[in-house]
């Protein structure tokens, strides 16, 4: 018996470009029109619905798509360019019959990126996506096409990572850190969703306003698999849709002049493992990329768990590449200002770009997309008898799979059909992994508050 879903309040609308795609050639319009015949249209439709549903208190992607099953967005040619004809869109995206300006900008950013990636990156033959350099070049061109790399000011972009499912105390702390960053003229880049992705941006807007900074950057990076569960928050003024989680992560570290990590769950752990795997590559020994883990006093145990997991699986020396500051937002911002100065000097000395870190070496294991299936998860080599960067790559994939099983529609469907993913490895790694994941579940870090969590994984020893 199929579940009955109450019909939501919906709106039909015709909207023109805002922020992207205002001026198009006839050939570009043809590409957009042709994309409606199969092509990229299904992907665009899903991402567009996620953007229009921003502010929802649910991270269940499948529930969203079921609830708005009649939603559609079609590209229509006009003498001056294009318009989007939208049917059965969430009413919360409109005020007095007009689409909210920020939502409209996000909507056309989605269209811009989905079409560019499909026709230029994946089908155009310009990039060799089987080679590390080709993948990095593709990431660069996606960001450049989105105009993220046009900013000419001094290096000042701080990437902030953290969970979408966090408590009020942790959320308020992320705002305080963002405020201190904004007071010091630092801009913010996050995964664009709620929780620890929204808080730093919200705080930074106040810091920027007090310093009369009128063009602060609040960059949001997402990808199609996660956007429905973590839709862009309203503060994001530069939204970029990357093709997959691996290119999204690479975009973060190529753009960053520093990284701040707040408490989170498996997605945040995945990001930490990704960055540690890069920083521990011997080729990056001289690279300057500050990493600070921070949260309120009551979250100190979270960072103890992360440190214990990293030290237990990789050795205590790995902790030299990160710094923990608890309960002191001004100290986080002051330290980041100091360290960003070192980054700027290092980039200048190496003749590297201020806006895109070309010299950072990213092992191919961290660049290649990981297809999450029961077979691929069970095949992960989670043991210490291998190079550290390879173990980190496999651990990152394990956490990526759990994220998929938690909130991504395809992953949720896999779990319903075949049961939990199984993870195998040596006893020490499995014990540490089990302890960390159990702690995440107990602290409610797997789903939004109020949601019932059923583990999508099983540790096999």
DSSP string, 150-189: G--S-S-EEEEE--SS--HHHHHHHHHHHHHHHHTT-EEE
Whether 6 has a pLDDT exceeding 70, the answer reads no
Whether 90 has a pLDDT exceeding 80, the answer reads yes
pLDDT at 97: 86
Q: What is the mean pLDDT of residues 400-412?
A: 85
Distance CA 449, CA 165 (A): 7
pLDDT at 3: 39
pLDDT at 358: 95
Report residue 413's pLDDT band, with 50, 70 and 90 as the boundaries.
confident
Whether 232 has a pLDDT exceeding 80, the answer reads yes
For residue range 424-444, what is the model confidence (pLDDT) as tens digits? 999 999 999 999 888 888 887
For residue range 15-24, what is the model confidence (pLDDT) as tens digits? 988 766 666 6
Q: Give phi and psi for 369, each to the nearest 5.
A: -60, 140
pLDDT at 7: 46
Q: Is 74 helix (H, G, I), strand (E, B) or coil?
A: strand
pLDDT at 39: 64
Whether 140 has a pLDDT exceeding 80, the answer reads yes
- β-partners of residue 76 are 83
The whole-chain average pLDDT of the chain stands at: 88
Whether 8 has a pLDDT exceeding 50, the answer reads yes
pLDDT at 398: 94
Whether 360 has a pLDDT exceeding 50, the answer reads yes
pLDDT at 225: 84
Whether 144 has a pLDDT exceeding 90, the answer reads yes
pLDDT at 355: 93
pLDDT at 267: 87
Q: What is the mean pLDDT of residues 324-353?
A: 95
The dihedral through the CA atoms of 48, 262, 403, 2 has a sign that is: negative
Domain ranges of the chain: 10-109, 152-362, 365-460
pLDDT at 2: 38
Whether 250 has a pLDDT exceeding 90, the answer reads yes
Q: Does the structural domain 152-362 have CATH classification 3.40.47.10?
A: no
Q: Give phi and psi for 139, each to the nearest 5.
A: -60, -45
Token pair for 347: 């980039």
Q: Which residue, 165, 441, 171, 443, is CA-closest to 295?
A: 171
Tell me the CATH class for 10-109. Answer: alpha beta
Distance CA 204, CA 181 (A): 6
Percentage of residues in the chain having pLDDT higher than 90: 57
pLDDT at 126: 87
Q: Is 434 helix (H, G, I), strand (E, B) or coil?
A: helix
Report residue 252's pLDDT band, with 50, 70 and 90 as the boundaries.
very high
Q: Are the folds of 10-109 and 152-362 the same?
A: no
Between 349 and 34, the higher pLDDT residue: 349
pLDDT at 4: 38
Percentage of residues in the chain having pLDDT higher than 70: 91
Whether 1 has a pLDDT exceeding 50, the answer reads no
């Amino acid at each position: 018996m199929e579940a009955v879903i109450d019909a939501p309040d919906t709106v039909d609308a015709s909207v023109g470009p805002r922020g992207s795609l205002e001026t198009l050639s006839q050939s570009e319009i043809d590409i957009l029109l042709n994309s409606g015949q199969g092509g990229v249209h299904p992907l665009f439709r899903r991402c567009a619905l996620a953007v229009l549903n921003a502010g929802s208190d649910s991270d269940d992607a499948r529930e969203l798509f079921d609830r708005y099953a009649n939603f559609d967005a079609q590209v229509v040619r006009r003498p001056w360019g294009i318009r989007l004809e939208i049917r059965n869109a969430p009413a919360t995206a409109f005020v007095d019959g007009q689409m909210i300006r920020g939502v409209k900008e996000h909507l056309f950013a989605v269209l811009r990126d989905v079409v560019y990636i499909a026709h230029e990156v994946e089908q155009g033959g310009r990039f060799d996506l089987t080679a590390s350099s080709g993948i990095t070049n593709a990431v660069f061109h996606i960001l450049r096409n989105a105009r993220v790399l046009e900013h000419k000011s001094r290096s000042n972009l701080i990437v902030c990572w953290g969970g979408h499912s966090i408590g009020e105390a942790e959320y308020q702390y992320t705002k305080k850190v963002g405020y201190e960053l904004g007071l010091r003229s630092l801009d913010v880049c996050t995964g664009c969703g709620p929780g620890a992705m929204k808080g730093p941006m919200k705080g930074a807007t106040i810091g920027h306003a007090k310093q009369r900074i009128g063009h602060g950057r609040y960059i949001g990076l997402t990808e199609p698999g996660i956007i429905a569960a973590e839709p862009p928050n309203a503060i994001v003024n530069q939204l970029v849709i990357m093709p997959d989680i691996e290119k999204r992560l690479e975009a973060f570290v190529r753009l960053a002049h520093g990284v701040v990590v707040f408490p989170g769950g498996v997605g945040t752990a995945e990001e930490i493992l990704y960055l540690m795997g890069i920083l521990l590559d011997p080729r990056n020994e001289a690279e300057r990329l500050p990493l600070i883990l921070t949260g309120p006093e009551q979250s100190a145990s979270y960072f103890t768990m992360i440190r214990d997991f990293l030290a237990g699986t990789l050795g205590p020396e790995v902790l030299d590449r990160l710094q923990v500051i608890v309960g002191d937002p001004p100290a986080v911002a002051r330290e980041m200002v100091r360290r960003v100065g070192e980054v700027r000097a290092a980039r200048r000395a190496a003749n590297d770009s201020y806006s895109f870190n070309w010299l950072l070496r990213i092992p191919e294991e961290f660049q290649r997309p990981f297809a999450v299936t029961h077979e691929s998860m069970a095949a992960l080599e989670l043991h210490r008898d291998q190079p550290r960067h390879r173990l980190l790559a496999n651990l990152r994939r394990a956490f990526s799979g759990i994220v998929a099983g938690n909130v991504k529609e395809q992953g949720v469907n896999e779990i319903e059909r075949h049961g939990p993913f199984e993870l195998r490895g040596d006893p020490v790694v499995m014990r540490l992994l089990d302890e960390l994941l159990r702690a995440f579940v107990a602290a409610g870090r797997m789903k939004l508050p109020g949601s019932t969590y059923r583990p999508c994984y099983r540790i096999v020893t």
